[in-house]
Amino acid sequence: MQIRDLPYLDPGEPDTRSGTRYLLWLGRGQLRGQLVTLAWGLLHFVSVMALPYGVGLAVQAVVDGSGSRLAAAGGVLAVSAVLIAVGDTMLHRTAVTNWITAAARTQQLLARKTASLGSALTRRVAAGEVVAVSTGDVEKIGWFVEGVSRFLAAAITVVLVCVGLFVYEPHLGLIVAVGVPVLALGVLPLLPRATRLADVQREKAGRATELASDTVAGLRVLRGIGGEELFLTRYRTASQEVRGAAVRSARMWSLISGIQVLLPGLLMIGVVWYGIGLVGDGRIEVGALVTVYSAVMLLAYPLRHFEEIAMAWSFSRPSARRAARVLALERTAGAASPAPAAGDAAPAVPSGDLYDPASGLLAPAGALTAVVCGDPDAAGRLAERLGGHPADADGLPSVLLGGIALDDLPLDGARTAVLVQDKDPVLLSGSLAELLAVPASGAVAPEDALAAAECADVLAALAQASLEGDPMAAPITERGRSLSGGQRQRIALARSLVTDPGVLVLDEPTSAVDSHTEARIAEGVRALRTGRTTVVLTSSPLLLDRADRVVLLHEGEVAAVGSHRELLETEPRYRAVVTRETDEERLSPVPGGPGAAAPNAFDIEETA
């Protein structure tokens, strides 16, 4: 796999049973790249460890006055230098490729899961954790995956050097063979605590990220109520906790690094002290001592990879665990239909009446159905159920479209059949033209959708912000924060209308606009969606009066069906929700006195 070939056409199905299994799955998916890195790593490390032999050979040649052996030593050093340069270059290249491909695969999997779950994702996982997984965690995961092959190359080189020194000079080689395992394993008792400190740091960092995300998202409201300083204080506290945790973790890793320097130094002292005695006794030559000493000194280089792999494991394990937890989330308990294989014909999109067996809600095909639900949270859950991707199925039966269960459709098919716009739609950054460039039937032009959503004033404001004077080219900031709440809502509605799905579900699409604009939007949506199934969850009399059919939900079930005017006259629960009527007003027998029926919002509008 080359970097230029990214992204993967199919990132595969990950093993999400645990963080460790996920890391193993990633490693197996890049087996060829790991083997290539291992080969280049062996060439690089072995070439580095060949330098002591050339240096010892040169020293002994000078002592003996042998010009031929000195020339041979120079040749060994020259070849080693060339191989070191080539090996290091290719090792770095292949290792970085492994890192990037592992991170890219994880990011693709996370993006696919995010698209699959939609808004249900942040109901199951904190937003800060999702951000942490998709940014910092993918780097930690890629670090460990690419570090494995370099560690294996370093470990094999250390074993070869120990065996070679024992064969080359048994007296000193035995000391090295005993001391190197101590160097490699000496920090193991400290790793559990270092891992725990790293976990604490990551948890606090995720919490701080979540607080920052919440503060930025609600900054306009916080300024309105004077609460921004309170939230900033909370973030400062969380930030200081992250700093303290990072300092404690860094102290532990610095202790490990210090031990990794101290132990090789002690080994070199021991080798030199014992070796000088052997030279003095004439049992070994000076060149042999120089070779062994240089080898021990250079062994610190591959041994550093033992520390690195320990750090990579400590940081990547919790990151992989979080990634696996997110990737293990499923759309619903009953939605197990596989996606169509490449080359298969796209599944037919069903059409017909939309029916929810759990609540008894029926939305006839081609009609505008308004649903009144006193609980906004229950309305949001119903909208998700109607779209075929609820946050929690709770064992409820699937919504049916034309008699076909949405849970039995592939996700793409379900979302093609039913489009849900929730009460807080998200606008991505970019131009207005890019925002409206969504998969659509082509039957609705962007101009018609913008007109139906009453976006004339929005277009005028965007034209002033555009350098060319073209509102379609005007930039829109992330989440549409450069727009007001009502403007964002209308632009999102226009985007949904452009898509022109067979079934469109709108959850409070006009809650942030004034009544005059709301009335025009109601007429525009009704006209543009003629012959198409539309479900609007709302308590606005202006929208309810223009619906073909109004359904009242009470405690999660259909309580009444009729027109807006009929339900106002015959259903007290409906009237209480739509007119915001209190119990005292409902029981008042005379206008203005106790028990008088309050005038409903529709009558007020008609009178006006």
* Structure tokens belonging to residue 377: 């949270």
In the predicted structure, residue 273 carries a pLDDT above the cut 80: yes
The pLDDT confidence band at residue 232, using thresholds 50, 70 and 90, is: confident
Least Cα distance to 539 among 561, 504, 509, 503 occurs for 509
Give tens-digit pLDDT for 579-591.
Answer: 876 555 555 554 4
**What pLDDT does residue 367 have?**
94
CB 94 within 8 A of CB 40: yes
Its pTM surpasses 0.75: no
Spatial separation of the C-alpha atoms in residues 127 and 31, rounded to whole Å? 33
pLDDT, averaged across the chain:
82
Can you say how many angstroms the Cα of residue 328 is from the centroid of all Cα atoms in its chain?
Answer: 13
**What pLDDT does residue 303 have?**
82
Q: Which residue has the higher pLDDT, 105 or 190?
A: 105
| Residue 504, beta-bridge partner list | 419, 534
The pLDDT confidence band at residue 593, using thresholds 50, 70 and 90, is: very low
Q: Which residue has the higher pLDDT, 263 or 341?
A: 263
Residue type, 572: P
Radius of gyration of the chain (CA): 35
Residue type, 248: R
Spatial separation of the C-alpha atoms in residues 8 and 27, rounded to whole Å? 15
- Looking up tokens 């005059």 gives 516
Give tens-digit pLDDT for 38-94.
Answer: 999 999 999 998 888 888 888 888 888 888 888 998 998 999 999 999 999 999 999
Spatial separation of the C-alpha atoms in residues 329 and 37, rounded to whole Å? 33
CA distances from 66 to 11, 53, 58, 59, 72 (A): 61, 16, 9, 10, 10
**Percent of the chain at pLDDT above 70?**
86
234: Cβ contacts below 8 Å, ≥ 6 apart: 211
Strand order in the sheet with 400-401: 361-363, 354-356, 400-401, 404-405
Spatial separation of the C-alpha atoms in residues 461 and 103, rounded to whole Å? 41
**What pLDDT does residue 532 have?**
92
In the predicted structure, residue 307 carries a pLDDT above the cut 60: yes
Over range 509-519, report the average pLDDT. 89
Over range 396-422, report the average pLDDT. 83
Least Cα distance to 433 among 401, 404, 466 occurs for 466
Least Cα distance to 271 among 365, 165, 184 occurs for 165
Give tens-digit pLDDT for 161-172.
Answer: 888 888 888 888
Least confident of 4-13, 340-349, 457-466: 340-349
CB 296 within 8 A of CB 267: yes
**What pLDDT does residue 588 have?**
53
Spatial separation of the C-alpha atoms in residues 508 and 99, rounded to whole Å? 45
Q: What's 6's DSSP letter? A: P
**What pLDDT does residue 95 have?**
92
